[in-house]
């Protein structure tokens, strides 16, 4: 049974994180806050003088960033567990204001550095005294050819709000103005349908419920199609304008080059995923058989294929399971996990006023990472522990092995350590939980992770590539042209086995990620890298674990592709994606064996 939702003070302190590790009291926080707020004039004083002493300017900037991080994190975390507490809210507002003030006061640094001679910047990057800042200077140099004059950059910055308009309009339309038609149940009652509860309905065992959820949702978007196409068109044109004006060959290059990701990564992902579409079809055929359907529709893709499996798993047991599952990571890694549990880095249970979901906060170099959970006494919650602690350990190793300016890991690898832990857990559980129901549940979970993360996100990535290519070639982006492109993609990915419900043509209209172009591919590459690495760890023994530790410890000291090479995989090549897809193939085969199909 799920843990009853309690008041926060009814929960044993052992299961609440200890923010006193950051500040013993709100008063101590306030004292630090005052001290750093007083530093603002000092930072602002260097405005216009960076080239006179660039080393000092860079050091000051990073020192301030590091020192205000506890102020911000304490206030942020304090509010997460007590969203209704006005004191917590006030602390967070204050911290946010301080962060904004400091960032505004130091906003001159980058433009002034970029205005310096390339030769001088290169010298600075190679200066042994600036070793801690070499990664920062490396990416700065990379951006130099794409930086315009001060006046031009100012002009573009002044258009900032206009550039953000498509995203803002999309959010207002879909989150406030749009209403979805309700679902009518067999007993005559109606259920409200929202983007927020769509996921529950599309997973429903009742086929009529999921059919209505799908149809009602897609139809509502279709009716807004011209508006959303206009909004999306503006967003793509903005990407194109930003890329052109900053001398990038394409919007995709403009998104990937500053993160030091070669574009082959994107192209390899799409081509290898296409290579494995027959395996996806095989999975879908199995799904159709197990659901005993004459015809598999797109609204039948999410419902679990087997009877539900539930397992009562209190926190202590779930944590033990995580320790066992992650034992290939080595004793020191496990010791850190125990330390996280025993020393109250983790806030375990739901309580009134606490935020939902789960996350790891890893920016506190001077303290340790914190983890927020909402433990629900089941197996999914155990996977969440493994996932969030994966983030925490990545932060912990990078924070302790790198100086502050090189400790933040790249977006490209942000989900690798977390999903690698999940993949290791999956292997362990498949190895130990031999009952048929457990095996079917686990394999269903793994198959869906592949389908929704590798295949679906790659299809999204492909759509973004197509829409931006169309814009670059001067092809109008309209409701009709975008929906046609999206429908075709669905036919390619699912068409051989699935009936392609025509309503799916409008699905692109509901994806908020499309307003942050060329980002979703990271979900797919992240899972492929993680699965590939988990394979390597399981088969490569101590050497593989040592390599993996190097990756966890790298922060942003090297470009993300190089960081993953330390762990033994090269994401600029198709092999790691292929290796992950072979695991997918093997998982389909295992599922067939378990269910005897
Ligand atoms: Zn995550």
Q: Give pLDDT, residue 104.
A: 87
Q: Give pLDDT, residue 369.
A: 98
Q: Give pLDDT, residue 259.
A: 94
Q: Give pLDDT, residue 262.
A: 96
**pLDDT of 1 above 50:** no
Task: Tell me the pLDDT tens digit for each residue of 55-86.
Answer: 999 999 898 888 999 999 999 999 999 999 99
Would you say 366 and 357 are in contact if contact means Cβ atoms under 8 Å apart? Answer: no
Task: Tell me the pLDDT tens digit for each residue of 87-99.
Answer: 999 999 999 999 8
Nearest CA-CA partner of 420 in 310, 303, 569: 569
Mean pLDDT of the chain: 95
Helix (H, G, I), strand (E, B) or coil at 112: helix
Q: What is the pTM of this model?
A: 0.94
Cα of 415 to ligand 1 centre, how many Å?
A: 5
Cα of 373 to ligand 1 centre, how many Å?
A: 12
Cα of 334 to ligand 1 centre, how many Å?
A: 19
To the query of whether residue 388 is one of the catalytic residues in this protein, the response is yes
Task: Tell me the pLDDT tens digit for each residue of 181-228.
Answer: 999 988 889 999 999 899 999 999 999 999 999 999 999 999 999 999
The residue annotated as part of the active site, out of 73, 80, 388, 507, is: 388
Task: Tell me the pLDDT tens digit for each residue of 359-394.
Answer: 999 999 999 999 999 999 999 999 999 999 999 999
Q: What residues have a C-beta under 5 A from ligand 1, the ion?
A: 418
Would you say 148 and 246 are in contact if contact means Cβ atoms under 8 Å apart? Answer: yes
Q: Give pLDDT, residue 55.
A: 95
Ordered DSSP codes for 150-167: HHHHHHHHHTHHHHTHHH
Cα of 91 to ligand 1 centre, how many Å?
A: 26
Cα of 363 to ligand 1 centre, how many Å?
A: 15
Cα of 242 to ligand 1 centre, how many Å?
A: 29
Q: Give the Cα separation of 582 and 597 in Å (integer).
A: 20
Task: Tell me the pLDDT tens digit for each residue of 279-330.
Answer: 999 999 999 999 999 999 999 999 999 877 888 999 999 999 999 999 999 9
Task: Tell me the pLDDT tens digit for each residue of 387-432.
Answer: 999 999 999 999 999 999 999 999 999 999 999 999 999 999 999 9
**pLDDT of 4 above 80:** no
Cα of 569 to ligand 1 centre, how many Å?
A: 20
Cα of 9 to ligand 1 centre, how many Å?
A: 28
> Which CA distances in Å does 281 have to 67, 286, 486?
53, 9, 19
> Which CA distances in Å does 498 have to 155, 229, 286, 388, 501?
50, 27, 12, 35, 9
Question: Position of tokens 């997973």?
Answer: 203
């Amino acid at each position: 049974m799920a843990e009853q939702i309690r008041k926060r003070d009814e929960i044993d302190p052992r299961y609440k994180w200890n923010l006193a590790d950051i500040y013993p009291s709100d008063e101590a926080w306030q004292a630090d806050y005052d001290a750093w707020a007083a530093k603002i004039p000092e930072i602002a004083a260097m405005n216009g003088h960076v080239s006179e002493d660039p080393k000092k300017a860079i050091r000051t900037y990073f020192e301030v960033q590091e020192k205000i991080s506890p102020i911000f994190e304490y206030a942020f975390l304090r509010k997460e567990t007590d969203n209704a507490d006005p004191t917590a809210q006030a602390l967070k507002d204050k911290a946010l204001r301080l962060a904004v003030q400091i960032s505004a006061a130091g906003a001159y640094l980058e433009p002034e550095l970029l205005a310096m001679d390339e030769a001088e910047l290169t010298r600075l990057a190679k200066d042994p005294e600036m070793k801690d800042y070499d990664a920062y200077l490396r990416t700065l140099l990379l951006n130099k050819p794409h930086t315009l004059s001060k006046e031009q950059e100012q002009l573009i910055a002044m258009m900032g709000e206009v550039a953000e308009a498509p995203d803002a309009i999309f959010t207002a339309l879909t989150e406030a103005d749009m209403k979805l038609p309700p679902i009518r149940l067999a007993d005559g009652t109606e259920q409200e349908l929202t983007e927020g509860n769509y996921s529950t309905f599309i997973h429903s065992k009742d086929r009529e419920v999921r059919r209505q959820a799908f149809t009602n949702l897609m139809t509502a978007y279709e009716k807004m199609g011209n508006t959303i196409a206009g909004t999306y068109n503006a967003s793509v044109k903005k990407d194109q304008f930003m890329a052109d004006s900053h001398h990038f060959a394409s919007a995709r290059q403009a998104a990937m080059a500053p993160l030091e990701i070669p574009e082959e990564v994107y192209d390899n992902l799409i081509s290898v995923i296409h290579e494995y579409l027959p395996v996806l079809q095989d999975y879908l055929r199995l799904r159709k058989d197990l659901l005993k359907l004459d015809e598999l529709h797109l609204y039948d893709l999410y419902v679990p294929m087997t009877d539900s499996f539930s397992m009562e798993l209190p926190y202590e047991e779930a944590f033990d399971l995580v320790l066992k599952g992650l034992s290939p990571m080595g004793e020191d890694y496990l010791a850190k996990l125990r330390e996280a549990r025993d020393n109250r880095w983790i806030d375990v249970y739901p309580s009134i006023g606490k935020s939902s979901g789960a996350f790891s906060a890893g920016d506190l170099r001077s303290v340790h990472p914190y983890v927020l959970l909402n433990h629900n006494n089941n197996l999914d919650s155990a996977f969440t522990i493994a996932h969030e602690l994966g983030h925490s350990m990545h932060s912990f190793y990078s924070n302790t092995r790198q100086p502050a300016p090189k400790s933040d890991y790249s977006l490209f690898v942000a989900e690798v350590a977390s999903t690698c832990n999940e993949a290791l857990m999956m292997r362990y559980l498949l190895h130990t939980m031999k009952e048929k129901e457990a095996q079917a549940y686990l394999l269903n979970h793994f198959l869906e992770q592949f389908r929704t993360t590798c295949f679906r996100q790659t299809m999204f990535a492909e759509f973004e590539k197509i829409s931006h290519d169309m814009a670059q070639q001067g092809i109008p982006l309209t409701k009709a042209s975008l929906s046609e492109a999206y429908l075709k993609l669905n036919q390619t990915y699912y068409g051989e086995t699935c009936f392609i419900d025509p309503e799916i043509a409008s699905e692109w209209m509901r994806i908020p990620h499309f307003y942050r172009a060329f980002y979703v591919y990271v979900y797919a590459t992240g899972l492929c890298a993680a699965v590939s690495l988990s394979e390597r760890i399981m088969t490569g023994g101590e050497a593989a674990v040592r390599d993996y530790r190097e990756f966890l410890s790298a922060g942003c000291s090297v470009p993300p592709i190089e960081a993953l090479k330390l762990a033994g995989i090269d994401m600029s090549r198709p092999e790691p994606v292929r290796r992950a897809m072979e695991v997918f193939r093997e998982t389909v085969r295992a599922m067939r064996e378990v269910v005897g199909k």
